[in-house]
Amino acid sequence: MNPVAPRSAPKYPGGCWPDAGQIELLRVCLQPEEQAREAWKRWRNTVDFERVDAGSFRLLPLAFRRVSGWASDDPIRPRLKGIYHKAWARSQMVLAGKPAILQALHAAGIQTMLLKGAALIPTVYHDVGTRPMDDFDLFVPRARARDAMNILLSRGWESEFPNREALVDSAHACHFQHPKERRVDLHWHVLHADCRPDADEDFWNGRVALHWQGVETSTLQPADQLLHACEHGPRFNTVPPLRWLADAWNIIHAAGPALDWDRLCRQTAQRRLTLPVRLSLEWLESNIGPAAPRETLRALRAVRVSMFERIEYRLAQRPLPPVSTVLQRLPLNLCYYWRLKRNAGLLRLASDLSDFVQHISLMEATPGKSLRYRLSDFRHVRLPRLLRRLRFARPPSPGEMETIHPHDLTGFHALESWDGRSFRWSQTHAIIRLRQEPCRATITFDLGRLRRWKGDLEESLSVQFNTHSVPLRAASSQTVVFEVVPEMFEQAVYQRIVLRCEKLEHDTHDKRELGVPLFAVRVTPIQTHAPAAQPKR
């Protein structure tokens, strides 16, 4: 079968559905070898490896396993191998210590089930390096969720959610962090979109036993794993979550005849998830190859999709900034609230809304109190600041952070504004890619007085230009300067500036890892003058 091009209709909004280059990489990972070879050639000819997007980058370990046998002469193969080994090491760090958590939960009489990557690695991929993981997804019965939280807290885990116990009645999961064992995502519901008290009985009744690292636990059966991938995957993310399509395809082909397609159709209709499941399977059919039986696709197309489901599906794929506000998230959260309380009656629906919004939005106060605080803050702080900015409005000059494309930055947070100027916080390790011809030049970092050089940066900040360490000096109270020479440049389109520094210590509510505040990166060539000719005698 020759895969056809993805449809241009708006049924596949951006943020989770692949673009042309990402489709070719998925074909490399998922199609039979002959087709995968051709897709690899197309991908290498059309995509700049130096500017691979973050979603595609997470597929590169799987791509390495596919191409390693027949792309041995490709110059990027050693780098793919390094990416694969890094993904393997990161996943091992995520998995470390987790069997002990399962044993502690079992000792307390709490059943456990592995979800997402934690379940797919032993049941589908069978290779830790090919399925990158950021956290360990663990599912427990809703009735024991608070007990499971207390066990994690007693073992040194911490949660960034102050109202975590109240989340059990509103959300599907809660994140926990440990200084040595990375992150655990504790679920008491499998699905974002179905948090009813009895929503997961079918999942528990249909679970499959799993012996994992010396511990007896369980996973979802293949049909439910596929439902979970198709429900969780097609929603907007600043990092396009392409791997959910790879997960769905591999779940189908790993299960083979054991996948209960009738169960998938029943669960999909019962939970009002026909649209994401049907479109996921149709996308795989159109762009990768046969995914579901024809009878299954006909059955899914025959299900009537309500207006509510269509609106919810659109809202789930609506672009949001990396740090979104309560109001920006509210439309989709109201859809979840309607699913949760639709049978509770009008009076209960209205009375519980305030608590739901507070809990799901991680607010310390009720929405009414928060609104009054926001209005006061806008009137006395933000409005005067906005008026001051308008007085000094000017277009951005070259080198300012708002003019640098996000693809040329690694390890930076979203663009922010301070004192009328745009800037980005770096993390403690960040990379800037510059398109610059070899020359002798000074490069200036404008820190905007948010983190002063004479504070801790003078001791902790180090900079490399490509592979060369460069000495730094302060040019003013808010700028740091270093010099580069032609010998430091590489024969590449982009030159790399690598920053490393200690984490900024502060007493605010910002939980991000903050490094250097960069308002601008300016390159100033140094003019070299030829020596004056000697007069003839």
Query: Are 211 and 270 contained in the same domain?
Result: yes
What is the rounded distance in angstroms from the CA atom of residue 45 to the CA atom of residue 235?
A: 29
Q: Are strands 136-139 and 182-187 parallel, antiparallel or unpaired?
A: parallel
In a domain, 463, yes or no: yes
Q: What pLDDT is stored for residue 453 in this prediction? A: 57
The residue from 314, 344, 366 where one domain ends is 314
The residue from 314, 334, 361 where one domain ends is 314
Q: What pLDDT is stored for residue 240 in this prediction? A: 76
In a domain, 45, yes or no: no
Q: Give per-residue pLDDT as tens, 55-104.
A: 899 999 999 999 988 888 889 999 999 999 999 999 999 999 999 999 99
Q: What pLDDT is stored for residue 362 in this prediction? A: 67
Q: What pLDDT is stored for residue 137 in this prediction? A: 95
Number of structural domains the chain divides into: 3
Query: Are 334 and 197 contained in the same domain?
Result: no
Higher pLDDT, 165 or 466: 466
pTM beyond 0.85, yes or no = no
In a domain, 15, yes or no: no
The CATH number of the domain holding residue 433 is 2.60.120
The residue from 255, 280, 314 where one domain ends is 314
Q: What pLDDT is stored for residue 16 in this prediction? A: 76
Query: Are 428 and 507 contained in the same domain?
Result: yes
Q: What pLDDT is stored for residue 393 in this prediction? A: 60
What is the rounded distance in angstroms from the CA atom of residue 410 to the CA atom of residue 442?
A: 22
What is the rounded distance in angstroms from the CA atom of residue 79 to the CA atom of residue 76?
A: 5
Query: Are 419 and 376 contained in the same domain?
Result: no
**Ranges 20-34, 61-75, 196-210, 245-259: which has the least confidence:** 61-75
Higher pLDDT, 47 or 9: 47
Nearest to 220 by CA among 94, 109, 116: 116
Strand partners, 498: 431, 464
Average pLDDT over residues 26-48: 94
Q: Give per-residue pLDDT as tens, 493-529.
A: 789 999 998 888 877 777 888 888 899 999 999 886 6
In a domain, 411, yes or no: yes
In a domain, 43, yes or no: no
Query: Are 166 and 291 contained in the same domain?
Result: yes
**Ranges 294-298, 299-303, 493-497: which has the least confidence:** 493-497
The CATH number of the domain holding residue 223 is 3.30.460.40
Query: Are 337 and 377 contained in the same domain?
Result: yes
Query: Are 205 and 290 contained in the same domain?
Result: yes
Query: Are 306 and 338 contained in the same domain?
Result: no
Query: Are 282 and 409 contained in the same domain?
Result: no
Query: Are 352 and 382 contained in the same domain?
Result: yes
Q: What pLDDT is stored for residue 368 in this prediction? A: 72
* Vertex 268: Cα angle to 319 and 169 (nearest 5): 70
In a domain, 49, yes or no: no
Query: Are 120 and 168 contained in the same domain?
Result: yes
Query: Are 353 and 484 contained in the same domain?
Result: no
- Give the residue numbers spanning the domain of 293: 91-314
Q: How confident is the model at residue 442 (pLDDT cuts 50, 70, 90)?
A: very high
